[in-house]
Amino acid sequence: MSDLLSASANQQAAAIRNKEISASELCSAYLARIAKLDDQVGAFVRVDHQGATAMAKLVDAAIAAGEEPGPLAGVPVALKDLLVTEDLETSAASKILAGWIPPYDGTAVARLRNAGAVILGKLNLDEFAMGSSNEHSSIKPCANPWNLARVPGGSSGGSAAAVAANLCAISLGTDTGGSIRQPASFCGVLGLKPTYGRVSRYGVIAYASSLDQIGPLARSAEDAALMLEVICGKDPKDATSLDAPVPAFRQACQGDVRGLRIGIADEMSGDLSDPQVAAAVEAGIQVLQRAGAEVSRISLPHTRYALPAYYLLAPAEASSNLARYDGVRFGMRAGDERDLMDMYCQTRGQGFGAEVKRRIMLGTFALRAGYYDAYYKKAQQVRALIAEDFKQAFTKVDVIASPTAPSVAFAPGAKASPMDMYQADIFTLSCNLAGLPGMSMCCGFDSDNMPIGLQLLAPPLQEESLLRCAGEYQRRTDWHTRRPEAFQ
């Protein structure tokens, strides 16, 4: 059993399908591990013992009846608590949604269930996905399994920490400006943000609708590919989902990188990073170069404006999306209100945390009459310039490499100001602004044994290029096989 707990999701699904172990046995083992270890990490905000056990029994019954159990047959997965789940509380780690029981599954969740996945529960995050460290959860702190005195990253901190601590085989997060890739870097796992529209956003509690995207966090490229094959595809419930065929992503992991052109942008170089991060990323690129990839320098001149553009556009969309939490339709409602306006003020004042309020106010300001052209419109124009930079760069290279984050995971409270915290996403934001697929994979550790992430970006709908790189890299290195000592 211990071997299967540390096995890949692909191996677990095969073992269950071949009756080497039952889905119920594997589910029980993970639930026991969560009960034993998660108090140290705080990755789970909600464990669904009853639902997970029932789903595992259904998988076992299908196998016993000779039926196809699905590609994720019995694999224990966990979900960021931003993904709507039928009959299971979904709170976005916010007081304002505490206790909300959705009446439906989001599309990605429904596709997981149909594929035979066993959903163990919901994972911690920064409130409404607004944060880079998981310090803004209203429920409880989340720690980094590599060092419990460090943050796991954000906003999908729980999703990355759960995989790193092996509390689930694979997880789902969301990425609005780096919220899959940056915590993947901090926790030493692989995180992949698909092309905008690859995965339906139906059933994702919205932060910034033109930027949000669901993606997997896993230990191996093959596991991330398996999850993508399940959750990708056109969805009539989401007008922004793309009508594009879903490739055999797992097959891409077996490809080599000979002739693949890798670009290194001066504007996203290691010069902006901690020296140990820069050295590990450079060494990671050299591994791919020795495998046959061609490396060249490129320029993305408008990338330097990604940070200010993002922090105008995303808060502007958030101010609109979060207007629905008013104490009338759903979510918490403050008591003892004097009138309607007082109810609005009390409900939103008590229900939202400081970072969410900050972004709502910033976004509302940017959209005000008289300020719209000076701020929001200009940010949209910069976004178009950033996308054009990438378009031109991808005529010369197939993927672009950079550090995922400028540093390794830091201690809670180490970022003294919001601007210091926002800088943690300096390398990841442009990917979302341009709608590109992006991936972070572990490429080494610093002197304190903290993971370092290598980011790769590709043109729209070219996730296969990222998975080729990841597959090749993981065959040539063993960084992804390392486990935090306390969670072996």
Give the residue numbers annotated as catalytic, written as ranges.
80, 155, 179
pTM score: 0.96
Distance CA 438, CA 428 (A): 8
User: Which SS3 state, helix, strand or coil, does residue 407 take?
Assistant: coil
150: exposed, middle or buried (Cβ count in 10 Å: 0-12, 13-18, 19+): buried
Cα–Cα–Cα angle for 317, 323, 327, rounded to 5 degrees: 155
**Residue 355 near residue 322 (C-beta atoms within 8 A):** no
pLDDT at position 160: 98
Phi, psi (5° rounding) for residue 295?
-110, 135
Q: Which amino acid is at 192?
A: L
Of 111-115, 195-199, 226-230, 265-269, least confident by mean pLDDT is: 265-269
Distance CA 108, CA 389 (A): 31
Q: Kindly tell me if the per-residue pLDDT of 1 is higher than 80.
A: no
Which class does domain 2-257+439-487 fall in? alpha beta
Phi, psi (5° rounding) for residue 164?
-60, -35
Per-residue pLDDT tens over the stretch 215-234:
999 999 999 999 999 999 99
Element (H, E) at 340: helix 340-351
pLDDT at position 270: 65
Q: Of 423, 387, 382, 314, which Cα lies nearest the Cα of 374?
A: 382
Peptide bond into 319 cis (omega under 30): no
Q: Of 428, 435, 481, 419, which Cα lies nearest the Cα of 154?
A: 428
Cβ count within 10 A of residue 129: 30
User: Which SS3 state, helix, strand or coil, does residue 50 take?
Assistant: helix
Task: Break the chain into its structural domains and give their ranges.
Answer: 2-257+439-487
**Residue 262 near residue 285 (C-beta atoms within 8 A):** yes
pLDDT at position 340: 85
User: Which SS3 state, helix, strand or coil, does residue 324 take?
Assistant: helix
Question: In angstroms, what CA-CA distances link 194 with 23, 110, 178, 215, 279?
Answer: 29, 18, 12, 6, 27
Locate the DSSP E strands across 267-348: 294-298
Q: Which residues pair with 47 in a beta bridge?
A: 121
Q: Which residues pair with 173 in a beta bridge?
A: 215
Q: Kindly tell me if the per-residue pLDDT of 2 is higher than 70.
A: no
Distance CA 103, CA 227 (A): 24
Element (H, E) at 47: strand 44-47
Which residue in this structure is represented by tokens 């960021």?
80
Per-residue pLDDT tens over the stretch 169-227:
999 999 999 999 999 999 999 999 999 999 999 999 999 999 999 999 999 999 999 99
Q: Which residues pair with 459 in a beta bridge?
A: none
Q: Kindly tell me if the per-residue pLDDT of 273 is higher than 90.
A: no
Mean pLDDT in the chain? Answer: 96
Sheet holding 294-298, edge to edge: 44-47, 118-123, 76-80, 170-174, 214-218, 190-193, 438-445, 451-457, 399-403, 261-265, 294-298
What is the separation of C-alpha 243 from the centre of its chain, rounded to a whole number of angstroms?
22
